[in-house]
Amino acid sequence: MYINRIALEFDAAHRLLRYKGKCESPHGHTFKAEIFLRGESLNEKSFLLDFVEVKQRIGQWIESHWDHAFLLNDQDEELVQALSRVEGARLYLFPGENPSTEVMARRLFEEARRMYGERIWKVRIWESPRQYAEYLEE
């Protein structure tokens, strides 16, 4: 079995709605996303998938949706309304869920799977150098 890993970094802000703690306040992170691919065979170029293409394609999705954006629960009406009035503010809304690293990992996994199918094994999102969440389907 071949396993490849591609890492991408991006900056974003979020808050956890109805969370009793520091993360209830809007705050930002430099996130790291790791996309793990796996497969038993290589293509005609001896690649599982081309690193450059995968990094560019998934990186473009992250840049278009999450990079320098506010990641919010769509039920966070107060913050969604306030940020909607800020010129240039970018919002990415998670339907009925907080933008936890777990939810982010699942969402990026779904998008990567849409692009590359079963070759996507799992996605890991680092919120800090000491903690991450992963999502994979077994």
Please, what are the averages of pLDDT over each run of 10 residues along the chain (138 residues)? Answer: 97 94 89 97 93 95 98 96 96 97 98 96 97 94
Contacts of 98 (CB under 8 A, 6+ apart): 14, 16, 17, 19, 73
Find the CATH number of the domain harbouring 65.
3.30.479.10
CA-CA distance, 97 to 21, in Å (whole number)? 17
pLDDT at 115 (0 to 100): 97
pLDDT at 29 (0 to 100): 96
pLDDT at 138 (0 to 100): 81
Total domains in the chain come to 1
| Cα separations in angstroms, 101 against 12, 31, 49, 108 | 12, 9, 26, 10
Domain that holds residue 24: 2-136
- The answer to pTM > 0.85 is yes
pLDDT at 41 (0 to 100): 95
